[in-house]
Chains A and B, each alone.
Chain A
């Protein structure tokens, strides 16, 4: 594996996320934990890939890695390891830190011993998320030092050096990334791999037990640590001033991915400015910022999402009594919405610096193009479950949903996604809807989501006897984020055998009295099961078990089995369009002369279209090539 090469000085191309993993290996990582979530997943998946390859050879990768039950557990596992002196890394998507925030806030009081990096992968523009919250606020909220990389190379170096900073101030460090860092590839220079420490030592200490009396002592200690962190920030190699041309009082303050656009445009637009590039953005180097403000008449702050640096610069300018002009979000030159790109920054610069915008106006095709939204894959078992529930449930049924591939059930013709907040919210909101309305409620969550945050609301439904149907779509994996294992699989992230926990056992243990176990590919029985669950007064759970078709077909290919694709017999087809319009598999389409056809390239051979065809016109013939 190229990422494991111990050849210092060599340049290789890595994804931003892979670069973070490499940085951790160069810092001698001992324990890495996560709950998968785009755009963070490849950091952990790389740890997993390496660990699995070692396990396969009956060797030890030198570190422990796990896909934890959820982000809070992931943080707690790694925090404890760090408290014993080991180096730890926990990665998650931005909203994952909301889940882990309870642990995070008090962990900052307790502090760490071995370096601990918490990677937050924020998602401006919500490419694959339910919101675009700016997690830099968490560094301020909890008082944790923070680094913000601009490039994969910087991500690797900040991870490597971040462990030292974390150890020096005895605080977890937030490595705040955004999609456009996580998912860009760039050259990185390899440094030497470090050997891990292997075993920690837990020293009993009353200061680790945050009862009120201790918490009151820990809070001022935390503030002292942050003063120390500010001194590190003043000297940090990641905070630097770059002079371009003859600046004449113009300065730009920027961080993260936004820096890349600034750097390129300053050249392209021939701007004479000094750039304060902040890599350690909490605590900001106050003295350095004061000097920068004093040397400028005008400052432009370029940062994605919230005006966090902008507001801090305004505060410092006020304290200094400076009348420097600060341009940014408050002057409406930049938006608090969505990720930036060269075009957005060029437009703002042309207005602020009063120079010509080098970027031309976008052209658009005059031909209207059909959209290509993401859809449930051909053969996805969720489609069969949705088809069955629509047959069983009254039209007015409300369908709270959750985070996973199955959210795509929002699209017609299924329209089985009516309310979504966060991981696990399906069942909690189902309870609320049952209290507030007289409608039938059927909620959906995946198997990984069930273990993550789905169990407490089921307990709520049982304890208060809410009349809800909660459906667990158990496709035996965490499909959406790239097929990671979870507590319901019989192997773990290091490729070792693991105890499988059964959804139905947990549900039974929670006291649910009406449980239906179905294979959604048996659409008739699944429909009947939903009917019984809907008739039952009180909470019922339907566990719909069928593996993700992509996994199943991958395993079939590995075993040398053929996948048989389906065809429509045009003689038998009566053009009722049940398959193409009500079942709506993307492999089925309207061909010429009003024929309904199946695209053999796309068909994954589930055969459910054959089941729902009222005229038995669909059958399998050829093996897929």
Chain B
């Protein structure tokens, strides 16, 4: 096992990125591993670009260094591209395929790039996995579980230094009982959606 695992989670404020990072951190503690989770609060939250670092193992620094991410998990395509500085040729990149159009595009005159170009560019920075997390989450029963779908997908790419069961257990321990089935399905379908 590698002694350091570096994961970058990105997306747009409100998509549950910070919650997903927090769950990953709790799962690492459950697996009796050292972990640091770093997140952004305050002004950057509302509709802004969000990125969290999760570092597991023999680590001290709370932030992932440039070129050292084992995985970049993004709930929005251009938000994956915004943080490719963390990637190296071995980085695994998982992104949801659904764009969230920023207001700077909708009303401010900036442009959202062609989505196929975004995927093509992303594949230059690591091994790219695309996933329709919006559909999977809706099919599981609630769009809000999209972040859980992404955690399921992350469990499929052989990056985490613990078993996917530990992650699923942690998810289920941290949500109200009535949402357990939906989240379990979201996680499992996310896991299945990645073909290695």
Q: Which residues of A contact B (CB under 8 A)?
A: 11-13, 38-39, 41, 127-128, 151, 180, 183-187, 257, 259-261, 263-264, 341-343, 346, 359-375, 377, 412, 480-481, 580-581, 584, 586, 588-590, 599
Contacts and interface: CB of A to CB of B under 8 A. Distances in A.
A362 B67 contact: yes
Given A375-B46, A590-B106, A590-B107, A365 B84 contact: yes
A581 B107 contact: yes
A342 B38 CA distance: 14
Contacts of A263: 60-61
B81 interface: yes
Contacts of B107: 580-581, 584, 586, 588-590
A372 B103 CA distance: 7
Given A127-B44, A342-B61, 16 more contacts: A128-B41, A151-B36, A183-B38, A184-B39, A186-B62, A187-B35, A343-B66, A365-B82, A367-B81, A369-B82, A370-B105, A372-B48, A372-B104, A373-B104, A480-B42, A589-B103
Contact of B63 (A259, A341, A362, A377): A341
Interface centre among A264, A369, A375, A480, by most chain B C-beta atoms within 10 angstroms, is: A369
Q: Give me the 10 closest cross-chain CB pairs, A-B, nearest first.
A: A589-B106, A128-B42, A38-B42, A360-B67, A586-B103, A362-B85, A342-B65, A185-B37, A370-B110, A263-B60
Contact of B65 (A12, A38, A359, A480): A359
Interface string B64-101: 01111000000000110110110110000000000001
Contacts of A259: 60
Contact of B62 (A13, A128, A184): A184
B67 A13 contact: no
A360 B42 contact: no
B106 A185 contact: no
B157 to A, nearest CB: 20
Given A257-B62, A343-B66, A365-B121, A370 B104 contact: yes
B85 to A, nearest CB: 4
A586 B47 contact: yes
Given A183-B41, A342-B63, A370 B47 contact: no
B102 interface: yes
Interface stretch (B22-30, B159-167, B185-193): B22-30
Contact of B29 (A12, A38, A260, A373): A12
Interface centre among B28, B37, B48, B60, by most chain A C-beta atoms within 10 angstroms, is: B60
Contacts of B43: 38, 127-128, 374, 480
B81 A363 contact: no
Nearest to A186: B36
Contacts of B66: 343, 359-363
Interface residues of B, number: 57
Contacts of B59: 264
A360 B106 contact: no
A184 B37 contact: yes
Nearest to A262: B60
A128 B104 CA distance: 21
B12 interface: yes
A343 B106 contact: no
Interface centre among B22, B61, B125, by most chain A C-beta atoms within 10 angstroms, is: B61
B113 interface: yes
Contacts of B42: 38-39, 127-128, 480-481
Contacts of B105: 370, 589
A581 B107 CA distance: 6
Contact of B46 (A183, A377, A412): A377
B62 to A, nearest CB: 4
Contact of A365 (B46, B67, B81, B106): B81
Contact of B104 (A341, A371, A481): A371
A363 B85 contact: yes
B60 A260 contact: yes
A38 B37 CA distance: 18
A11 B39 CA distance: 21
B112 interface: yes
Interface string B156-194: 000000000000000000000000000000000000000
B134 to A, nearest CB: 11
A566 B105 CA distance: 20
Contacts of A362: 66-67, 85
